[in-house]
Structure 1
């Protein structure tokens, strides 16, 4: 018996982990509660306590253990020597953090450079799976889909020719397209993508007003307004404040009707607004000049296609025309791009409200 990496195709009967522990039955919630039930993953053959990789969420077959001291472990199964080509990933889910396919061509037909040529901090991070010159999106990056370096001298990068998967997400575990990055997700999912149980938000000394405004209830996955993260998430460790993205898919408008969630209250342009509050995250005016008197360029400018906040890379309704913005409060106050060749930016000529 063997398995192919990152796939939900192993159907053997092994039921012990690499350390010799017996697996917990998938239909049981004791001693470890979890979301990987036969009803939630009906196509993953979750029979008895046999090792599986439901949804392909991990690098190989695994299981929860019957030991209360060990939540889950990989199983004692060997990796197949030659994975069949039919299992190669040709599309990605979410923002591509868990894409481990073999596509290595960037948009425009450019060939990807090997990751080993670049001394980056994420090369050694667990879970990024950097192999050869295959397209990836390192965990924690703000980019929206798999990408690669295309020039080892300049460090230039491009998004890859990888399509987004079109599939129905698990019922009850979706957030609407109108939420952009899940800011208005109000569901009850409380597990991270790696299977960890979310911790209660109130264990992290959050102010009552902040928790109320962002509906931080119990240990449910959320993405608070102002967060730079692009998907609902939760804390998984109260001591280290470690966090993980949650096991929630973004709704596909062609397959699932958008639920009746509240629309963001800041889509309308207010031409009368001449100042900003706090860090300007909710400034919606039409000022388009910088503190140095330079004219802002449009957020949809073709020269910005590889920048983080180009309209096609950062689908947010407030990036209109060339108006000053501070999306998700990533900078100290409203700003804009001012140069089309090198993505230079400046703070805008907007006073803070009294």
Structure 2
């Protein structure tokens, strides 16, 4: 009876897991940057998805899951509003409903970003009372996602999504949102061998890498799913052939084994098809490490701290997906240290239940003596900071706000993995400020339980006088070029008209973009700035309901000619002939 209950619970868990994750589109090796986010420690990707679905601090449109560290970041943005950045060992999951720019039926579930009516009128913000006093607002319809000024259908109007307009003469109008069934699938080149991630593969392999038979895509037993021919009409989901409809790293299929939901398939690579003078690629396998150690195939099986490595094929004590089946070409033999996912050096999961994974110290090929061997060049260690301060080895041990630094080898009050063992070449001595992970300046964990970490103010090498030393020239502009990082004008209002909060203030918005933390970014008073390489100047707002918004600052390209002066909002802006105008499509503020 207990076994029956366990099996039943397992089946129910699998069904719930599949249902929740099927709401998301996954992109492996990607992330997006967002000022607003929440961070959680989780055990599985399902837990992360549940955190996103239950998020109350903001509308969660996507989450980032770092399987190796079991970290979860919930985010209000997605790839429609922010740039995608590459990051190894992360996966970006986006709610599909927020990616769709078409409607099903009358579009009550439409969550796209269209904000113009069918006649071209701009939509009024749902929370605004001007020019029309709405009777449908975010407070009256909390589940309808009435955010910003996006077209929505909160009342089930038969004509589809609509909005109040900013035209005083037109209270509301429907929006011209495309019907999902009318969209035409793109032309895809169909291949019977696999290239890249195998999205275009249309061969007839129908068995997984472990030999399990594939379930037909149109079937719902034993695996219930939404990767059906109807939902993915352009992905070749014929019969039970291996396919890649959702941008996984290779073709896969659901299996007919009730205990195994899905597995990757081993399909022939187009490079395996013989051609004139074709030659298989040479893979050099090394017993010493070069670069990031991806080609290392030695037998070291212990981490830098002396912990034994768990076998890659095992799932205890660490459950993971870096298995020999999933990474067949990465040499995941026994429990040897490897680098299957482009980390900075070989690593392994450990047999210690308290330590998920650690880096390994494998011999460098440079340590093997050879003819006319030459000692490696060691980067000079500095007691002042240049650039991002990675080479800084000084003794500052206090943060910009005056908090004492926690020793890097300590785990209280802050638990972390930036330890001397994990980062042996980064000078993590005592509690001195360092930059082991390529932040923008040296930093440290603090001894204050309420503040995990902060940047440090270490002396710049430019501050040390030398022969004929000369400070660098920084061009400060009162108009904007590119992303506006050099903008030093006096605009202090956002695109929607909200007043900017002073950068030194912590109310109503609490933040760490302060003049102390960003001393060279011109965070004077409450002027719009771009201290963190956003796509244009922005500011925190004095409205407790709106954390931050972009600003509309004058572009240097708006000036009619060289040396001319323009006026905007009562300010004069001097621009020059070599300034370049860039146009941006501003994303909605969150």
Q: TM-score, normalised by structure 1?
A: 0.32
When Rg is computed on C-alpha atoms for both structures, the one with the higher figure is 2
Q: TM-score, normalised by structure 2?
A: 0.21
